[in-house]
Each structure stands twice: as C-alpha cells, then as structure tokens.
Chains A and B, each alone.
Chain A
Amino acid sequence: MIGMLAYNIPFVSIFVMMICAIITPLLPNRNRIPEKLSCLAISFVGLMSAYLLYELTAGGQTHSFNFAMGHFPAPWGNELRAGPLEAVLSLVFCVAMLLSLTGNFSSTAEDIAPKRRNIFCVLVNLLTASLLALTYTNDLFTAYVFIEINTIAACAIVAVKESAETVRAALRYLVMSLVGSGLVMIAICLLYDLTGHLLMQNMHRAIGELVATKRYMMPLTVSLALITAGLAIKSALYPFASWLPDAHGSSTNASSAILSGLVLKGHIFTIIKIFYRVFGLEVIHLLRMDTVIFILGITAMIMGSVHALRQKNVKRMIAWSSVAQVGYIFMGVGLNTVAGIAAACLHIIVHACVKPMLFTAAGGLSNAAGHKKGLHALMGTFYVNVWAGLGLIAGACSMMGIPGFAGFASKLSLTLASFDHSTVIWALTALATSSVLNALYYVPAVIVVLTHNKDAQKNFTAHSPTLSYKVSMFVFLALNFYLGLFCVPLLRLITRGVNVL
C-alpha cells in the first residue's frame, strides 16, 4: 500500500502551486522575491513528485490510486488519479519549468517591465498548477476548467513582454485556443448526455456498454472527433498550428520555453488520457480515430520541418520544429498500441527537456549578438557564450536523432513501436524523411554558430552568462545525455505506467 504521505502528494502539489499563485500579488515586488518563491515552490513540488514516483514503483510493483477530492467517493465527487506515468510527467514538468525560469532569469528581467514581473510569476504558477491538474485529474469537466486556466495564462505570458507583435500573437493564439475550448465543451456536454457521468472510468464503462449494444454510435463518433479536434488545435497539430510560431517566436525566452516545452504537452497528455481512459483503444480503433491521428501526425512531422526550413529568425525556426515534434508524438498516439503510447510519452518527456534548452540557448546566443534574432547575426556567437552554443548543438543533435542524445531514444522507441503495426512502411518513411529535414535546418544553424567571424564579433556585447544560466544549461545538457543513454529503464517505467493508466 501507499504511505499516507505519498497518497496526498497529487492534491498537495496542485494546492501548493495554487496558493503560491494566489499569494504572489501580495508580495513586495523587489529583489525578485516572487520569482524566487515560484522557483522554490516548483522545486518542492518536483521533489514531492519524485518521492511519489519512488513510492509507486517501489519493490518492482506498480501501484496506482484514486484520490477523492472531498468526502464523497467516485461517481459523486471529483477525483484525482496517480500512477507512475502521472508522477513521471509531473516530475518532468516541474524540472523543465524550473530550468526554463532559472535559465532565462536575466533575459526575463530585460524583456518584462518591472511592474509586470509580479504578474508573470502569478501566471507561471497558475500554468504549473493547471498542468499538474491536467496530469492528475480523473474527471473530464475538471480537465475542461483547468484547460481554460491554462489557455488564459498561456496567452497572457505571451503578451507579458510589451510589444505590438506579442499582443497580435497572443490574440491569434487566444482565438484558436477558444475555438478549441468551445469544441471540447460541446463534446463534453454530448458525452455527459450519452453516459451520464463525468468521471473517466465511469464514462469508460458506459461507453463500453453503448458500443457493445451499438447504440448512439453517431453521437459518440462526433463527440470523439470534436474533443480530439479541440485538443489538437490547442496542442498545435499541423493544420491547426499557424498560431504557434508567432506566439512562441515573439514572446520572451522563458515564455517560449514554457509554452513549447510544457503547455502543449499538457493538452497532448489530456488527449492520451481521453483515448486510453475514457474511450479505450478498441473503441478508438472502431471509430477510426487512430488512423486520422496517425495521418495528421505524419503530415505534421514533415510539414513542420518544411516550414522550419524557410525561417530566418532562429526562434521561429525552433518554434516550427516544435510543430514537427508534436507530429512525432501524435504519430505514436496514432499507432494505438501500448508501445506506441509509451513511445509518445517518452517523446513528450524528451521534448519537454530539449525544447526549453533550445529556446534558452537561442536566447543566450541572440543576447550575445546584441538582441538580434536573425540566424546569420548569430555567426560566431559560440565563442562568446559557450554554454548557449553547447546547448544549441546538443539540442540540434537531439532533434536530428544522433545516437547518444535524447531525441535518439524516443525516435528509436517510436520506430520499434511501429513495427507491430500495419502501417510500418509509412511510419518509417515519415521518421526518416523528418529526421533528414530536421538535419537540413539544424546543421546550418550549428555551422553558423560555430563559424568564426571577426567583423561581426566586434559588435557583440561582451557579456558573460550568469551563474544561473550556466547551471541551468549544465542540468539541461546532463538531462539530455541521461535520456539519450539510459532511456531503457525510463521506457520500461513508462510502459508500466501506461499499462495501469
């Protein structure tokens, strides 16, 4: 059995972040106290998640439990649910969030007006809380409410840097997100009407009965399509991804890192939960949603990279590369097997660690080149900010799938997962094409950064990275190599988590 300490961790994590968000506006806005409090709270939650993970997998067994929010049991009250997969994801979210904040500590101070820094921290705390709630929730309507918190906070941290471009980007992001939330809301209403439940396992049972008796098949299909489309818009699956490069490319580095690395992942994990826990893989296959997701994922893998090839702004290039990586995750989900979903979850983790590193590195490099974001302005910046240069190189190798780096592990597991699937040829072709395309834009970036350029280097601001930047980048690099070299135990853990999901 789980100890009482571990049993309360999901609830305590969410409430710690919420209370931290609520208290932050009251704090004095000097000495960067709000940011330090946020970092402290996030590390505390991260430590608790690690302990929860240890308890859930102790002694080679896999535990999972439901946590009733209040005095009323399952179908009457709200519930949280924790298993190894949820614990791993919340740990990774906390680590990536913490590193995105500390790594961009100085650039946040430059980009955000002092009056707004306080509110930036409120929004970061709310985002963390909503991500944790989306990870742990066992109730579809709670998921909807926290998706809305996530949406408003995510759009607001785009607009937190004061410029015309960020406002426009935030509006585009908000409009697309609202279309997505509207679709999710309609779908939840339809599902409630068909099943009479909002809790995931009760819905699953009711849907199983409906499918067995072939009743209400049309409304079921439509609600599944609507909820998938809504969440796909929010997680930037390719045809719906036009908002992403603006939002992620224009905001401050910390926001870009958080949005690309974490916010997208919260929505993707919600889709996985809905597929696996509400509908069940057989029903998804019966309603053909797996094929749709698979095709869209493959399209995103290739089209995201094609768009990234045409970018000249380094942050926009990395943002389009996120679209391609989201495609990888959706391809894994579309395989509709336990191995596929485990590989998708591994890719979520890998991308949550690598993409913030790339954004932090790009921010450091463009700071070194005097706040220029054009790829060619970065020529030779490696020699000014070595840590950022190393981060960019490692991130690029990881995205290309060079063995030993994090991206290789997840791509390998995606490949292995696609072998037991009928569409193996398509999956392998898409993986290969997309990797080559990734190389086509990441290799030139690396070469540019490594090329000596005496003329341009005169204009560089002589500024050495701060200690927090170096430490965060070191941890990012260490994580990258850890994931690349020792992914097998992690993948086994995730598979166990998916099995009890």
Chain B
Amino acid sequence: MLEKLLLNHYEAAAVILSGIGLTNLLLQRNLIKKIIGLNIMDTAVYLFLAAKGYVEGRAAPILIENGSGGWINSASVYVNPVPAGLVLTGIVVSVSVTAFALALTLKLYESYGTLNIDEALMRMTEEQKDIEAKIDAAEEEVLS
C-alpha cells in the first residue's frame, strides 16, 4: 500500500489536506478558521484534480502549430483538459461561497459580538430561555 501511495503522492497529499480542511470546517469553533478550513479543502480538491489530469510527458492543452500552417491535434500530445475545466468552475464556486460565508460572519459579529458560533448559540439560548419561561407562565395561567 505504501508504494502505491508513493506512486500517487500528489493525490495522497491532496486527500490529507482535504481531510484537514474538512475537520477544520466541521469542528473549529471560530468561524474565520472554519472558512479557512473550507478554503484548504477546496484547494486540496483542485490539487487532486490537477494531479488526475496530468499525463506523463504531455503538454498543456493548448494547440501547438506544426510548422506548416496547421495544428497538432493528436490526443497523445496533450494532457487531459477536463480536470482543468472542473477546477475553473470549482474556483468560482469557492470564491462565491467564501464571500457569502464571510458576509454572514460579519453580520453575526455585529449582532452577537463573537465569532464563535457556540457562544452565539449560548447567548441565544439565554434569550430563548426567557421566551420559554414566558410561554410556561402563559401555559400555567391558562391551566389554572
């Protein structure tokens, strides 16, 4: 297994990075760190895709002139162009999502004064408790 991993070392690095990113995204409690985790994960996926598109000894997928006015278009000259296209789309998606998440984080900080989503939750639950106490009081009033 180890020599196979060494053979696929770019992919191995990519999945280690994406695991780190995913864990950060899931379990960091600071939202900015969560968003950094998201970006690590996305970038790792691009590394994975770039590694998957590579073929030993081939050129970038931009047609080369063959010297007599034509173009070399044999499939054995260029690397796989599909992963490049997927990465381009992925980058745009990642930029959009990051900007949206940061905007929401800014709004959260404006309302709660914290970047920690659990702390915001705790402050919320105190307010919620007040509301529930009111509901309970109303309930007892009705029952009596």
A residues adjacent to B (C-beta < 8 A): 141, 145, 148, 151-152, 155-156, 159, 164-165, 167-168, 170-172, 174-175, 178-179, 181-183, 185-186, 189, 192-193, 198, 312, 374-377, 379, 453, 456
Decide: A185 near B100, CB < 8 A? Known: A178-B38, A312-B135, A376-B138: no
Which of A171, A182, A456 sits near B38, CB closer than 8 Å? A182
Q: Across the interface, name the chain B residue whose C-beta is closest to A185.
A: B45
Establish whether residues A167 and B82, one from each chain, have CB atoms under 8 Å apart when the complex forms.
no
Establish whether residues A185 and B90, one from each chain, have CB atoms under 8 Å apart when the complex forms.
yes
Chain B neighbourhood of A152, CB < 8 A: 96-97, 100
In the complex, how many angstroms separate the beta carbon of B132 from the nearest chain A beta carbon? 6
Known: A171-B101, A186-B45. 5 other contacts (CB 8 A): A168-B121, A171-B31, A182-B22, A312-B135, A376-B135
Establish whether residues A155 and B104, one from each chain, have CB atoms under 8 Å apart when the complex forms.
yes
A107 to B142, CA, bound (A): 28
Chain A neighbourhood of B120, CB < 8 A: 168
B residues adjacent to A (C-beta < 8 A): 15, 18, 21-22, 25-26, 31, 34, 38, 41-42, 45, 48-49, 52, 82-83, 86, 89-90, 93, 96-97, 100-101, 104-105, 107-108, 111-112, 117, 120-121, 124, 131-132, 134-135, 138-139, 142
Cβ contacts A to B, 23 pairs, < 8 Å: A141-B89, A145-B93, A155-B100, A155-B104, A159-B107, A168-B120, A171-B101, A171-B104, A175-B25, A175-B34, A178-B97, A179-B22, A179-B25, A181-B97, A182-B38, A183-B22, A185-B90, A186-B45, A186-B48, A192-B86, A193-B52, A198-B82, A377-B138
Instruction: State the main secondary structure of chain A at its contact with B.
Output: helix
A374 to B104, CA, bound (A): 28
Chain B neighbourhood of A189, CB < 8 A: 45, 48-49, 52, 86
Which residue, A165, A182, A193, A198, has most C-beta atoms of chain B within 10 A?
A182
In the complex, how many angstroms separate the beta carbon of B40 from the nearest chain A beta carbon? 10
Establish whether residues A182 and B42, one from each chain, have CB atoms under 8 Å apart when the complex forms.
yes
Establish whether residues A174 and B49, one from each chain, have CB atoms under 8 Å apart when the complex forms.
no
Q: Top 7 closest A-B pairs, CB basis?
A: A164-B111, A374-B135, A167-B107, A376-B139, A148-B93, A171-B104, A182-B41
Establish whether residues A167 and B52, one from each chain, have CB atoms under 8 Å apart when the complex forms.
no
A168 to B49, CA, bound (A): 34
Establish whether residues B25 and A159, one from each chain, have CB atoms under 8 Å apart when the complex forms.
no
Q: Across the interface, name the chain B residue whose C-beta is closest to A164.
A: B111
Q: Across the interface, name the chain B residue whose C-beta is closest to A173.
A: B104
Establish whether residues A167 and B111, one from each chain, have CB atoms under 8 Å apart when the complex forms.
yes
Establish whether residues B52 and A164, one from each chain, have CB atoms under 8 Å apart when the complex forms.
no
